[in-house]
Amino acid sequence: MSTSSQYDVVIVGGGSAGITVAAHLQQSDRAPESIAIIEPSDTHYYQPIWTLVGAGVFDKEISERPMAEFIPEGVTWIQDYAETFDPDANTVSTQSGDTIEYNYLVVAPGIQLDWDGIPGLADAVADPRSGVVSNYAYEYCEDTWDTMQTLQPGDSAVFTQPATPIKCGGAPQKIMYLTADHLRKRGILDDVSVQFYTPGTVIFGVEKFARTLRDVVDRYGIDVHLHSELVEIRPDTNEAVIRGTGGGDSAPGERVVSYDMLHVTPPQSAPDFIKESPLSNDEGWVDVHKHTLQHNTYDNIFSLGDASSTPNAKTGAAVRKQAPTVVHNLLQLMHDGEITAPKEYHGYSSCPLVTGYGKLVLAEFDYDNEPDPTFSFDTSQERYSMYALKAYGLPQMYWHGMLRGRA
Ligand SMILES: Cc1cc2nc3c(=O)[nH]c(=O)nc-3n(C[C@H](O)[C@H](O)[C@H](O)COP(=O)(O)OP(=O)(O)OC[C@H]3O[C@@H](n4cnc5c(N)ncnc54)[C@H](O)[C@@H]3O)c2cc1C
């Protein structure tokens, strides 16, 4: 039987963004009277650690916690999928047919992984013995480590990045550097061909960090192919079809590359239910102002995280800076009737680029690709301290700080 209910604030998605916003709202001395989170999953994942799971540093279970432990006390958890929005009536409908009415809405359902976007990918990645792996899903990230260990002299390890926006733009490279370092430790790096195919025009968009990454690529002897994208996988013959986009050194047209290990970052896009909703822009993302995170058409709607239209690098680190902006502006609108003194987000994002076991370059930058450092020392150099921060410090900060509204 369908029901209807009403809340001051409804949050769609209980991932990094949804839970962080709920925690900040609930703790505010101007907290709304009623908050609900629509989130279907029993489990909350700390996705950034999947890079190190794929490299054999941690078991995948380290990334999961029961969702129930992170829904803030006093917040109602509606365990369901949001399906459609009627912003003129201020309602969201769910998969089970319920209608939920809101005064203010925060939309944060993350990004969609389009495994079907590359022919051959969905079936190959689901088969742990195919050689095709991806750190982009909890259920697959351990296969990366299993496959990495099977590499032998004469083999090829191929890494790809799609042409679409993705979450954590550094993740396709991090696992490549870890694989190369693993091969180095085994003494077979010179005998395995490590290749990277990316549609990008540079190895990294911020020159300060790209400089170090070029040295890392040289050190490992990695073949980097810019202007190149994976368009098909032929798992029966262990072949990847790569299309040159015609820029730089890539010839237009297709070529076939053999692989023994193929790490794929899948194409990604806004979730279908967002694309089909009145909330989306032409590219399908929730259409918000890039500084205030307020919807460009509907004043009582905000969005942050991977599903929003803000042109920052999509990361959890960005979410940590966006959440206080959404909360400040939403509460001001709720209590004062307008946003007279908006809090602004300026595109901060951070990409901890793991360049080997115990080595990390911490890239922090803003909308203009200008470095936006937290630390006073130079994090464009490879450092153990920054690796330790990613492996041990940031997960604690996430579970105990960010998701509790304390960081
Ligand atoms: C391999 C990998 C490495 C990464 N490394 C880093 C890193 O080093 N640093 C970093 O900062 N970030 C990293 N990230 C990115 C980071 O995890 C994301 O940017 C972040 O989780 C985005 O938060 P979000 O809340 O927008 O989306 P998510 O955290 O993905 O949460 C979305 C939530 O919405 C829910 N949802 C989906 N559909 C619906 C629906 N219809 N109705 C209601 N709820 C729905 C989902 O169940 C989920 O709980 C990495 C990601 C991956 C995959």
DSSP letters along 304-360, please? -GGGB---S-B-HHHHHHHHHHHHHHHHHHHHHSS-SS-------EEEEEEEETTEE
Of ligand 1's listed atoms, the one at least distance from the Cα of 141 is 1
**pLDDT band for position 244 (50/70/90)?**
very high
Is position 141 annotated as part of the catalytic site? no
Of ligand 1's listed atoms, the one at least distance from the Cα of 17 is 25
Q: What is the pLDDT at residue 407?
A: 84
Q: Please say whether the beta carbons of 216 and 179 come within 8 A.
A: no
Asked if 4-111+270-346+399-404 and 115-268 have one fold, the answer is yes
Of ligand 1's listed atoms, the one at least distance from the Cα of 82 is 42
- What three-state secondary structure class fits 94? strand
pLDDT at residue 276 tops 80: yes
Span 61-82, average pLDDT: 98
Q: What is the pLDDT at residue 125?
A: 98
Span 318-341, average pLDDT: 98
Nearest to 319 by CA among 132, 47, 135, 70: 47
Residues listed for the chain = 407
Q: Please say whether the beta carbons of 108 and 304 come within 8 A.
A: yes
Ligand 1, residues 166, 177, 306: which to mutate, most atoms within 8 A of Cβ? Answer: 306
Task: Answer yes or no: is the C-beta of 81 below 6 A from any ligand 1 atom.
Answer: yes
Span 333-352, average pLDDT: 97
Could you give the C-alpha distances from 375 to 317, 326, 386, in angstroms and in order? 15, 25, 10
Task: Answer yes or no: is the C-beta of 15 below 6 A from any ligand 1 atom.
Answer: yes
Report how far ligand 1's centroid is from the alpha carbon of 138 (Å). Answer: 12
Q: How far is CA 398 from the centre of its chain?
A: 15
Span 382-401, average pLDDT: 98
Burial label for 152, CB within 10 Å (0-12, 13-18, 19+), is exposed
pLDDT at residue 184 tops 80: yes
pLDDT at residue 1 tops 70: no
**Residue 313 has which token pair?**
């690098």
Q: Which residues contact 70 (CB under 8 A, 6 or more apart)?
A: 14, 19, 44, 403
Report how far ligand 1's centroid is from the alpha carbon of 109 (Å). Answer: 8
Residue nearest to atom 30 of ligand 1 (CA): 110
Task: Answer yes or no: is the C-beta of 16 below 6 A from any ligand 1 atom.
Answer: yes
pLDDT at residue 249 tops 70: no
Is position 351 annotated as part of the catalytic site? yes
pLDDT at residue 297 tops 70: yes
Task: Answer yes or no: is the C-beta of 95 below 6 A from any ligand 1 atom.
Answer: no
Architecture in CATH of 115-268 = 3-Layer(bba) Sandwich (3.50)
pLDDT at residue 247 tops 80: no
Span 93-120, average pLDDT: 98
Amino acid at 27: Q
Domain residue ranges of the chain, discontinuous segments joined by +:
4-111+270-346+399-404, 115-268
Q: Please say whether the beta carbons of 106 and 330 come within 8 A.
A: yes
Distance (Å, whole) CA 351 – CA 71: 27
Q: What secondary structure letter does DSSP report for 47? A: G
Q: What is the pLDDT at residue 245?
A: 85
Among the options 141, 168, 242, 301, which is catalytic? 168
Distance (Å, whole) CA 306 – CA 326: 14
- The C-alpha angle with vertex 157 and arms to 205 and 47, in degrees rounded to 5, equals 55
| Averaged pLDDT of the chain | 97
Block residue for tokens 């992984």: 113
Q: What is the pLDDT at residue 3?
A: 78
Distance (Å, whole) CA 47 – CA 399: 12
Q: What is the pLDDT at residue 137?
A: 98
Span 348-358, average pLDDT: 98
**Strand 349-356 versus strand 359-365 pairing type:** antiparallel
The dotted CATH code for 4-111+270-346+399-404 is 3.50.50.60
Distance (Å, whole) CA 81 – CA 190: 49
Burial label for 366, CB within 10 Å (0-12, 13-18, 19+), is middle
Q: What is the pLDDT at residue 120?
A: 98
